[in-house]
Amino acid sequence: MVKKNVNIDKQLGRDSGNSRPGMDLNIFTLAFGDELEQKFRQDYFQSSVRLLRYSFFLGIIYYSSFAFLDVVALPEVKRELFIIRFYVVIPVILAVFLLSFTKGFHRWWQFAAFIATTIAGFGIVVMTVISPELGRHHYYPGAMLVLFYCYMLIKLRFVWASLAGWLIIIAYLVSTILFPGVDLDVARINLFFLVSANILGMFGGYALEFYARKDFFNRYLLKKESEKVEEANEKLEEKVREKTRSLKEDIQRRKLIEKELIDAKNRAEESDRLKSAFLANMSHEIRTPMNGILGFTGLLSEPDLTGEQQKKYVEIIQKSGDRMLNTVNDLIDISRIETEQVQPAMKTVDVIREFQNFFAFFQKEAKDKDLQLFLDSKDLPEKLVLQTDPSLFESIMTNLLKNAIKYTSKGFIRFGAKLNENHVEFYVSDTGIGIPEERQDAIFDRFVQADIQDTKAFEGSGLGLSITKAYVELLGGSIWLRSEINSGSTFYFTHPLLAIDKKNGH
């Protein structure tokens, strides 16, 4: 058979529209392409099996109730007719009916229904053959009822139904030729009716299957469309999720930026505040000695001063000058550090000798405040020579010792060093006022003294420790402290041993 495919919408003269695909099927067998056909057959079985069972059940009742007609109209052959009805046809129909409840029935249900219908049709034909004239002439409509069943009720597919229909008609035709008991005119008339019924049946069967397929195809398209919609929905949801995620990230980023901005603003404000406090402190540190100098220089010009008074005033002027010089020196140092002008000039320094010098120099200052000064060199070799910048080293030690004396009112000051694997660890320890823990980090920042209200009792620019830290680091070491409020502080700093010369066998 030539396989011709048709587009159903074109056939029906409808515009299928561009987006909706047409239904391609073979116009003779009504079959779809492979994959779709499989699906259709499954669906067709599921939607037909119930009707098939009802129809077969009804068929059994019909086929058996016609036995009444046999008794009334053809009592002579009723036994034979009964045999055909009750021993052949009905058992076959019953068997198919029962088999329809078995598992693999969907695979061969069309064939089974075809066999049952054909046998039912053949049964009628045999009945006409074996009946006397009345049955021979008038039992043929039974075949029409079978055709009706075959095309309309049991959902036999068009191809199978047509085959069964034509087989029954051929059987009838053959029976009239082989068993010429029927009048030729009657046979012709009967055949005419049978063929017409079959052709109409074919037409009806074709239409039924065609619309069943169309309905299936529409449902199939609908399912596909809804799958597409679902897929699109999922994609959309994924996009929304992605967008939400990126929005969240964006918000987080913005929050972070905002926090950074606030921090930067706070830092700027803090640094501004510190700078103002620093300037105020500096002007205090310059004005106070300046007032001292000017005030006492004025007093010195008084005519009636005793020698004692003169000496005292000169001392005050001297002290004020020193203090101012210190402040100016600190300022110069910090600005040189800031502009990276400080370059260490390494020389050989005898640490023990330097220690002894510091001890001699600060002993007087300590004594003036009733403090004891100790030099701790028990852990050091007798002669320890270090490659360092002598002026930076001296500056560091001086600063720490000065502070120790300055911030201690009773007790002692101890300084010394110990030798480590690859560096010397120096320390300056006191029993002074101590530094609260929360300030210990900030103490090396410049302007810090300026910011501490309650230390105003102690004079000083607040630059000393930041200069000290910068020098320690320039020499390749680090500085830290341990301190407890009201118990005292110890400042440690390291100096690399790289260029150290350990005489004395260490």
**Dihedral angle sign, alpha carbons of residues 399, 401, 404, 406:** negative
C-alpha separations of 182 from 143, 169, 170, 196, 379 in Å: 16, 15, 16, 20, 144
CB of 283: closest distance to ligand ADP in angstroms? 15
Rg (CA), the chain: 60
Query: Which residue bears the tokens 């098939």?
Result: 52
User: Residue type for 43, please?
Assistant: D
* Residue placing its CB nearer to ligand ADP in the complex, 313 or 447: 447
CB of 241: closest distance to ligand ADP in angstroms? 56
Packing angle of the helix pair 390-406, 464-474 (nearest 10 deg): 150
Is 280 strand, coil or helix? Answer: helix
* Residue placing its CB nearer to ligand ADP in the complex, 165 or 432: 432
CB of 346: closest distance to ligand ADP in angstroms? 25
Site residues, ligand ADP (CB under 6 A): 403-404, 407, 430, 432-435, 443, 448-449, 452, 455, 460-466, 489
* Residue placing its CB nearer to ligand ADP in the complex, 128 or 429: 429
CB of 345: closest distance to ligand ADP in angstroms? 24
**Within 13 Å and on the Cβ side, how many CA atoms surround 418?**
6
Q: Report the Cα–Cα distance between both ends of the chain, in Å, rounded.
A: 113
* Residue placing its CB nearer to ligand ADP in the complex, 249 or 441: 441
Q: Alpha helix (H) ranges present in 301-341? A: 307-338
CB of 327: closest distance to ligand ADP in angstroms? 9
CB of 448: closest distance to ligand ADP in angstroms? 5
* Residue placing its CB nearer to ligand ADP in the complex, 181 or 411: 411
Q: Token pair of 128, please?
A: 């006409």
* Residue placing its CB nearer to ligand ADP in the complex, 167 or 442: 442
Q: Alpha helix (H) ranges present in 390-498? A: 390-406, 448-451, 464-474
Q: Token pair of 336, please?
A: 């040189």
User: Residue type for 93, please?
Assistant: I
* Residue placing its CB nearer to ligand ADP in the complex, 207 or 485: 485
d(CA 468, CA 184): 138
What is the pairing mode between strands 411-419 and 347-350?
unpaired
CB of 364: closest distance to ligand ADP in angstroms? 19
Residues 92, 115: contact at Cβ < 8 Å?
yes
d(CA 20, CA 35): 19
* Residue placing its CB nearer to ligand ADP in the complex, 16 or 490: 490
CB of 343: closest distance to ligand ADP in angstroms? 23
CB of 252: closest distance to ligand ADP in angstroms? 40
C-alpha separations of 376 from 260, 261, 355 in Å: 48, 50, 9
Q: Token pair of 408, please?
A: 């201690």
* Residue placing its CB nearer to ligand ADP in the complex, 277 or 443: 443
d(CA 498, CA 386): 9
CB of 462: closest distance to ligand ADP in angstroms? 4
* Residue placing its CB nearer to ligand ADP in the complex, 289 or 432: 432
Q: Kindly report the backbone phi and psi dihedral angles of residue 211, in degrees, each rounded to the nearest multiple of 5, phi listed first.
A: -70, -30
Residues 50, 76: contact at Cβ < 8 Å?
no
CB of 481: closest distance to ligand ADP in angstroms? 8
The set of residues, in sequence order, having a beta carbon less than 8 Å from that of 42 and lying 6+ positions away, is 106
* Residue placing its CB nearer to ligand ADP in the complex, 388 or 408: 408
What is the pairing mode between strands 371-376 and 411-419?
parallel
